[in-house]
Every structure is written in structure tokens, then in C-alpha cells.
Amino acid sequence: MTWAAVQPIDVRFVPGLSGYFHKDLQAVKLSPEYDPLVDNIATVTPGFKNVVQAGEVISILIRLPNGAVAIGDCVDVIFSGAASRDPLFTPSEHIPLLHAVIRPWILKCDISSFRPNAVQVDAPWQALGGRRLHTAVRYGLTQALLSATALAWHCTMPEVISREWKINITTQPVPILASCHRNDQLQLDRMIMKQVGLLPHASFVHVNDIGPRGQTLLDYVQSVSKRIQERGNPEWRPRLHFDVYGTIGDAFNDDEIPDFFQLIERAAFPYDILIESPIVATTKEAQIKRLSLLRNCLILKKIDVKIVADEWCNTLQDIHEFAEAKAVDFVQIKLPDLGSLHNSIDAVIYCRSQNIGCCLGGSANETDVSARITAQVALATQPDFLLSKPGIGGDEGLMILTNEMLRTLALVDMFDYCAPEKNFHGPVACTVETRSSKI
């Protein structure tokens, strides 16, 4: 048996569709006449031609010498360009760059290890005049590179991560937050039937969505709690999660929010509750300060509502800053926003080291490919929970993530996974076909 570097032999870039769509968040928030799928208001965020646009992706296909093909999808989130995120990802603007700069780099790349390549993808590129690639490109390219390394090793992606980060793979699937439309009772009932770990996410985007003094939100939280008690197994104890996109901060003064959170806690009884992005400030500094004050007040008043950070918490450095300020209980590690996958891996490891909860999340605007790779990353890093994706169909995302984790755990067991402290020799040269070339 010989060990050798592995270089790709071909690369293809294929435009396609994502699992959802893009919205101009700032335009939505400014307009009470907003219709979710009708372009009846003017755009505000640069890059948007319409307030609602179909989501697009670029699939990166890397062919290895043994004929295997690694795939990653370049994709961004629904609310692109908001709260320090990169601009809207438009594939036609990036295809020429991918052919001119990224393809030659990939063909020279040694994909026998993943982490060094991911770091390089994330860094400023000399060929781009010192600029970095769009986060969507960094995300998709590192998905393909992680897949390529696993294919070169004849092993699973969690095993690659386990070896390179010296961490252990979980033996059980990670809980999933099922993302549901708040006006779809049957979808909620199906998630109750399937006993998901958390539900229903149920986005509240405009301040009108939560109603006067937040009453619509309170009524909805209470209705979800009641429905679970009526339909669910008494021994099943899901957590309730609601994403409010700053609408609570829009409807209330900061000093009023703790009392409103107490009402939310009562409405959710007897279930634990998480509120994502209760406030969206105009800067990251203001966001951290306001969330820190809110969290401290909740602790002092013994109000048990957990805060989840999303907006303005888009990079590994952001996550460090939110954590150090004790501004949140959980962080949504939004993979497309963090770009290169190694940042998301590092983010989960950091959150766990700081005893901060974390969701390995993302966006309904992702794809089946990026969702499956997220599931594999989760098995190696062990976040508190995953966000169901792609789409907001609930069932489909839950199926994709659950089955990917179960299949991968079966493969890890089948191929006799070696813990990170064991020896690691290198990938088998592509002339050798053997299942024994594993970590």
C-alpha cells in the first residue's frame, strides 16, 4: 500500500435552484403593505431587483482520479445583505471568476486533507486584489473540498473532521428544530406526531406579525403549547423556538421587553422557550449591548426565556464577541454566513468550550447537498441542535437531516471508526481501492 497526495482531475460549475427565496428584509420592515410573494413595494437593500427573488445556487463538482465526484453548493441566506452580511448572491456574477481563478486553484489542490484548504479558501486572494470570495462561494467550495477529502479516504466527513480537529463523533443523531409556517396547523401537527426536538421556528418578520403589544405572538405561543399537550406524547418534552427578527424590539421599548418575556414564558408553559433575535439593532455594538442588558434583566427577574443570536452574529469573531459579553444563551451558527466550513466547525467547538448553547443552522434557502453536509458536520462537532433545511416544509428538511445522520452513523460503525487519538497515516493513492484506507 502506498500513500500519496490526491489532486482533482476536473471541476464543473453548475447553476441551479435553492430551496427557498430571497427577501429584502429592510424593505419588508419599512412597509406595512408587504405581501410575501407579490412585488408590491420598492427595494431598499443593494443587489435586490425585486423585494422577493427566487433563490439560486452554483453547484461545484470536483472529480477525483478514482472517478468519484465531490459536490458542494454555493448558497446564501434568505435575508442577504442585512446586518453586515455579504450582498445578495447572484450566480451569473460569479461564474466567470470561478472559471478564471477557482478552477485552476482546485486542480492544483491536494485534497488529502481538508482544514488547510478551507483556511486558504477563507483568506484574501491575491488574484482578487486582496479581496475575499463571497461567503456563498466559500461555503460551497469548502463543502466540495470536505466531500473530496472524505472520498479520497474512503471514509465519512465526520471522520475527516474528527481526525483534523481531534474531536469525537457523537453516537446519536443531533436534535432538530423543525421550521414550520405559523399559519399551517397540519404541518405543526405532523411535527408533533414525529416528536421533533424543537419547534416550530415560525418566523415573525414584520412588527405587524406579532400584533398590538405582541398579543398575536402570545396567542400563537400559547396555541402551540396547547396543541402539543393535546396531540403529543405526555413523555415528549420539546423546546419551543420562535424567530422574531427584531419585531419585539420594534414593538416595545427595551425596558418593557422583560415583562413581555414573562408573558411569553407563561404562554409557553410547561415547555422551555427560546426567542431568536428579539432585537435587531442598527450596529453590532448596539446589538450586543442591548441583548446583554436584556439577558441580565431576565436573569435578575428569574424569567426563563432563552435568547438566541442571529442578526449581527455572522462570523466567528462576532460569535466570540457576543459570548464574551454574555449577551445570549444560544447562538445560531449560520453556515452560509460564516463562509468556509472550518469557521462553523470552530464556532461549535468554541461555544461548547464556553458553555454557550448553539444551533448549527443556516437557511431555508439552502439545498439538499448543503443540508446533508451540515448534518455530517453536526455529528463531529455536536451542537445542541440543528435547524431543519432546506425549505420550510418541515417534513422534507427533517427527513434529509435525520436520515443523513443515521446513515452516516451506520457507516462510521461499519468501517470501525478510529478515535482522534489513534494514528493517522494519510490517504490511499488512487490506484489502490480498499475500504481499509480509513482514519
Least confident range from 20-34, 45-59, 300-314: namely 20-34
Report the alpha-carbon distance of residue 229 to residue 293 in Å, rounded.
Answer: 34
Whether the Cβ atoms of residue 16 and residue 58 lie closer than 8 Å to each other: yes
pLDDT at 1: 35
pLDDT tier for residue 128 given thresholds of 50, 70 and 90: very high
At 239-255, the pLDDT tens digits run 999 999 999 999 999 99
Please compute the mean of the pLDDT values over residues 332-355 and round it to a whole number.
97
The grid coordinates listed for 260 are 413581555
- Closest to 110 measured CA to CA, from 9, 8, 1, 11: 8
Which helix (H) or strand (E) segment holds residue 94: the answer is helix 91-97
Rg (CA), the chain: 22
- What is the percent of the chain with per-residue pLDDT over 90, rounded to a whole number? 79
pLDDT at 246: 95
pLDDT at 23: 84
Report the alpha-carbon distance of residue 366 to residue 17 in Å, rounded.
Answer: 9
Please compute the mean of the pLDDT values over residues 122-134 and round it to a whole number.
95
pLDDT tier for residue 37 given thresholds of 50, 70 and 90: low
Residue 83 has pLDDT above 70, yes or no: no
- Planar angle of CA 358, 164, 376, nearest 5 degrees: 50
Q: Give CA separation, 100 vs 11, 58, 341, 381, in Å.
A: 12, 15, 23, 34
Percentage helix, strand, coil for the chain under 3-state DSSP, each rounded to 5: 45, 15, 40
pLDDT tier for residue 49 given thresholds of 50, 70 and 90: confident
Q: Is the peptide bond before 427 cis (omega within 30 degrees of 0)?
A: no
The grid coordinates listed for 87 are 450582498
Report the alpha-carbon distance of residue 51 to residue 26 in Å, rounded.
Answer: 9
The grid coordinates listed for 249 are 424590539
- Closest to 271 measured CA to CA, from 331, 223, 310: 223
At 144-179, the pLDDT tens digits run 999 999 999 999 999 999 999 999 999 999 999 999
67: CB partners within 8 A, 6+ apart: none
The grid coordinates listed for 168 are 469525537
Least confident range from 170-174, 182-186, 251-255, 347-351: namely 182-186
Q: Which structural domains are found in the chain, ordered by start?
A: 10-165 (3.30.390.10), 176-412 (3.20.20.120)
Residue 436 has pLDDT above 80, yes or no: no
CB count within 10 Å of CB 353 equals 9
- The phi, psi pair for 213, rounded to 5°, reads 55, 25
- The phi, psi pair for 264, rounded to 5°, reads -65, -45
Does the active-site annotation cover 289?
A: no
Please compute the mean of the pLDDT values over residues 422-434 and round it to a whole number.
39
Which residue in the list 23, 334, 389, 438 is annotated as catalytic?
Answer: 334
At 261-293, the pLDDT tens digits run 999 999 999 999 999 999 999 999 999 999 999
pLDDT at 38: 62
Residue 40 has pLDDT above 80, yes or no: no
Residue 2 has pLDDT above 50, yes or no: no
Q: Name the more confident of 311 and 380.
A: 380
At 321-332, the pLDDT tens digits run 999 999 999 999
pLDDT at 32: 67
The grid coordinates listed for 331 are 447562538
Report the alpha-carbon distance of residue 271 to residue 380 in Å, rounded.
Answer: 29
Least confident range from 19-23, 111-115, 380-384: namely 19-23
The grid coordinates listed for 50 are 425585486
Residue 35 has pLDDT above 70, yes or no: no
Across the chain, mean pLDDT equals 91
> In 384-420, which positions are buried (b, 16+ CB within 10 angstroms) versus exposed (e)?
bbbbbbbbbbbebbbebbbebbeebbeebeebebeeb
Residue 333 has pLDDT above 70, yes or no: yes
273: CB partners within 8 A, 6+ apart: 221, 239, 240, 241, 242, 264, 265, 304, 305, 306
pLDDT tier for residue 52 given thresholds of 50, 70 and 90: confident
Residue 407 has pLDDT above 60, yes or no: yes
pLDDT tier for residue 27 given thresholds of 50, 70 and 90: confident
At 191-246, the pLDDT tens digits run 999 999 999 999 898 899 999 999 999 999 999 999 999 999 999 999 999 999 99
Report the alpha-carbon distance of residue 211 to residue 301 in Å, rounded.
Answer: 25
